[in-house]
Amino acid sequence: MIKRDHTPGKLKPISLKTLPNGWHADGGNLYLFARGNSRTWVFRYVAPDGSRRNMGLGSLRSVTLARAREMARALVAKVHDPENPVDPIQEAQQKRQVDKAAEVARRTFKQCAEAFIESKRHGWKNAKHAAQWDATLSAYVYPVIGDMPVDEIDTPHIVSVLEPIWHVKSETASRVRSRMENVINWATVSKFRKGDNPARWRGHLDHIFPAVRKVAAVEHHPALPYRSLPDFMIALRKRAGVGARALEFAVLTAARSGEVRGATWDEIDLEERVWAIPASRMKAGREHRVPLSDAAVQLLRGLPQETDNPLVFPGSKKRVPLSDMSLTAVLRRMEEHGVTVHGFRSTFRDWSAEQTTYPREACELCLAHTVGDAVERAYRRGDLFDLRRGLMADWGQYCLA
């Protein structure tokens, strides 16, 4: 039981650091609680509802005896106010709630966007993805609504961001809209705003802006006509260097540049003639098995394997893949200025559609494209691998014709 003593001034500054463990009353409901080297000021009182409460006022290191007495006097006045007695702890809790609500109200779109990007950063396979988000939002969104409280953003604000670029940078505008929608969805789930998302497309912004496909034609990667491919491959095989071999392998497998440049020897089984690309390196996030044709196997067998480097096509620096520009540079040296590395996938697709009778699904799966809706994919459990092996064998023979 703690004795009540409303007369302040019992403690002496000189003795505060040497007091034994326990409660030490100064009077006026002020106590110093000692435990080891710890010294804490505590205001002990009976709340208006009759409950006994202990309210910490800070440590002896940060609050002097004089300041602690001043704080205690102010709190005694609140507790014993004859007209409106107050529970100081309850008052402090209410203030924190008000401050938190005010903080939420001040949460800006930019703050929400930065938090959203950070929450997704480790889930994105490519670090460039986060950089692209930062770049587009900084260029088009932050100057207009970046400093606005996110719960105040409405359709006119979204329109003011998109209107200047929708007709002149349609693809960029579409990505900007999608990214704003994602950020605002995150803010809603995080309780920083309520209501519908003003950046949503279907049933909302589609009544304000024309669809992107109607504004500008889709820009495809320039591709080499498949009838010109055999001559191109003859010239390519005469080229020396890792970049040339990587480009040749990309053509033979119809794979993306990044998949080829990141290929490691442990992904390739030359005996089974299979290249198994792990899900972590695939655009769709699913493992992709590539049947290797005779031409692809022959190319791989002719490559040196470095014992301390797992990469099939190593760059100039140890354990660092080739850059994307390495493959493009090969095309430039061959004076194929109107062709891109990615375009060879279109070359393969045009050839498979016009020169073979393989099913469309097999051709699309060779490109690691998603085929059919969710129901169809659920019933088609296989990846048509045997069928694709025949298709890729024919493609390899055509490339070497």
User: Which residues are CB-contacts of 48 (< 8 A; sequence separation ≥ 6)?
Assistant: 79, 85, 86, 87
Residue 397, pLDDT above cutoff 60 = yes
Q: Are the C-beta atoms of residues 272 and 262 closer than 8 Å to each other?
A: no
Domain boundary among 51, 83, 104: 104
The three-state secondary structure class of 188 is helix
Q: Are residues 71 and 151 in the same domain?
A: no
Q: Look at residue 377 in the predicted model and tell me its pLDDT.
A: 44
Whole-number Å distance between alpha carbons of 345 and 343 = 5
Tens digit of pLDDT for each residue in 246-294?
999 999 999 999 999 999 999 999 999 999 999 888 887 889 999 999 9
Q: Are residues 234 and 211 in the same domain?
A: no
Burial grade of 260 (CB within 10 A; 0-12, 13-18, 19 or more) = buried
Tens digit of pLDDT for each residue in 331-357?
999 998 889 999 999 999 999 989 999
Task: Provide the β-strand partners of residue 39.
Answer: 34
Q: Are residues 208 and 335 in the same domain?
A: no
Question: Which one, of 114, 107, 165, lies nearest residue 138 by Cα?
Answer: 114
Domain boundary among 84, 104, 124: 104
Q: Are residues 237 and 378 in the same domain?
A: yes
Whole-number Å distance between alpha carbons of 113 and 117 = 6
Q: pTM score, two decimals?
A: 0.50
Q: How many domains does the chain have?
A: 3
Residue 380, pLDDT above cutoff 80 = no
Residue 305 belongs to domain spanning = 226-399
Q: Look at residue 374 in the predicted model and tell me its pLDDT.
A: 47
Q: Look at residue 383 in the predicted model and tell me its pLDDT.
A: 79
Whole-number Å distance between alpha carbons of 215 and 54 = 68
Residue 124, pLDDT above cutoff 70 = yes
The verdict on residue 353 lying in a domain is: yes
Question: Which one, of 258, 252, 240, lies nearest residue 323 by Cα?
Answer: 258
Q: Look at residue 378 in the predicted model and tell me its pLDDT.
A: 43
The verdict on residue 221 lying in a domain is: no
The three-state secondary structure class of 233 is helix
Residue 307, pLDDT above cutoff 90 = no
Tens digit of pLDDT for each residue in 39-63?
999 999 999 888 999 999 999 999 9
Q: Are residues 94 and 122 in the same domain?
A: no
Q: Are residues 282 and 346 in the same domain?
A: yes
